[in-house]
Amino acid sequence: MDMNCTRLETWLADQLDPQRDELPSEWTQHIAECGSCAQCWQDERLLAAAVVAWRTKSPCPPATDALVTLLLQEATARAGAMNVPTKRRARSRWWSLVASAAVVMIGISVARSLSPGDDFVESEQLAFTSTMGSLLHRLDEARFDVLTAGPSGLPIIPGLSAGSTRSTDFTAGEIIDPAASSGVLRYGQPLGDGVGHAFRFLQIAVPVPTTDAG
Amino acid sequence: MDDERELAQRCLAGDADAVRAFVDRFHALIFSLCLRMLGHRHDAEDATQDVFVRAFRHLDHWDATRPLRPWLLTIAANRCRTRLAKRTKTPVAMEHTQEIAGKNTERSQDLAEELQRGLAELRDDYRLCFLLFYEQQLSVQEVAATLDCPEGTVKTWLYRARKFLAEFLRQRGVVTPDGYELHTP
């Protein structure tokens, strides 16, 4: 097998059209000289002729009435099935909307019941005075006369009205040594019930010009 | 394409005329592929029915920008492959060769009959590839898409199928239409 044989075989492999009947002139000489390639070419011609003949001989299909009936049933069932899910989808969409609304309503009511109400805020307001840092911040924002009024001014400082028990468990003007307090109040430490104690600490730690009061 | 889209929509709506038109348009080619692939008439009828039922069930998934025929042929090819895979467990005699070729098995000179005999001997994937290209006249690209394989594979399978069939015809002593007889080496 020489180079021409390989090239002819490659060329034949690429020729998919069964109508081909003529060999290009470039191969004619080689076919005349090479018996093997001549045989390949004859095989190709035979196969091409067979394919053409075979194509024209289609098998006779069966009657289609039964198939059409079956497909109509299928189409009808499908159309029905398509309608049912549509209704179901619409219904389920409605119910999911109602359920979502109910969940939202329940969530709001639960949140309200758990969150501090007006009464709670008035009596505790722990959220605003829960740390030493927030206490300092509130004091910084408070009016000067409130600060000088001492513990009696506590209820009118926004966020420091911690209730009577907390604001009255000490006496205004009482000097307390911070070092003698029960514990060191750190900036981020929760105050809890120690609002009054913290205020006393501030009175000692932060010099307030009480002379300007009033 | 619009015509096919409209036909498909009418079929989905359960229009009897559309269903009949759909079947009339594609039934012969699907049945032909199934019969030539499976080689058994009853099997081919069942497979054809299966193809149409499946096509109707999934007609709403058909990409209306593409022609229906390759889509249906893809379904048919898959159904044939599935049936052939099952057949390896429970073999069924190939009778289609006789149906087309008649009862004369003595070196028939009918090229079509002999080619069908050769196809029955061909490997399943080569046969399917050959049928899609030469019978259904899909392009190499369409065959590749139908069989879900590279175009190079399709070309290789076609070449091997042709080589096998040419060899088969030669061994059967088939002559060409112009009377040239191929001698068995």
Whether the predicted interface score ipTM is above 0.85:
no
Cβ atoms of A35 and A64 within 8 Å: the answer is no
Position A13 scores a pLDDT of: 80
What is the distance in angstroms between the Cα of B170 and the nearest Cα belonging to chain A? 7
pLDDT at A183: 47
Q: Give phi and psi for B102, each to the nearest 5.
A: 80, -175
Contact B12, A75 (CB under 8 A): yes
Note whether A53 contacts B111, CB cutoff 8 Å: yes
- Phi and psi, residue B176, nearest 5°: -75, 160
d(CA A190, CA A170): 20
Percent helix, strand and coil across chain B, each to the nearest 5: 70, 0, 30
Residue B147: its pLDDT value, please?
A: 92
Give 10-residue mean pLDDT values along chain B (185 residues): 84 88 92 91 93 90 89 94 81 54 48 89 93 92 93 92 90 67 42
Chain A interface includes B167 (CB < 8 A): yes
Asked whether the beta carbons of B51 and A92 are under 8 A apart, the reply is no
| Cα B54 to Cα B72: distance, rounded to the nearest angstrom | 9
Subunit contact B135:A55, Cβ cutoff 8 A: yes
Task: Show residues of chain A in contact with B155, CB under 8 Å.
Answer: 13-14, 16
Per-residue model confidence as pLDDT tens for chain A (214 residues): 577 888 888 888 887 776 666 777 878 888 888 888 888 888 888 888 888 888 888 788 888 888 888 888 887 777 666 665 556 667 777 888 889 999 999 999 888 887 655 444 444 444 445 566 766 776 677 656 555 555 555 555 544 544 434 444 445 555 544 444 444 555 666 666 666 666 666 666 665 554 444 3
| Cα–Cα distance, B37 to B92 (Å, whole number) | 13
- Only one residue has tokens 């394989």, namely B149
Long-range CB contacts for residues A118-124, cutoff 8 Å, separation at least 24: A122/A161, A123/A163, A124/A162, A124/A163
- Measure the N-to-C terminal CA separation of chain B; round to a whole number of Å: 51
In the numeric block, which tokens belong to residue A183? Answer: 């514990």
SS3 assignment, position B136: coil
Interface of A with B (CB under 8 A): 13-14, 16, 18, 39, 42-47, 49-51, 53-59, 61-62, 64, 67-68, 70-72, 74-76, 78-79
Q: Which of A44, A55, A67 sits opposite B49 (nearest CB)?
A: A67
Contact (Cβ atoms closer than 8 angstroms) between residue B53 and residue A71: yes
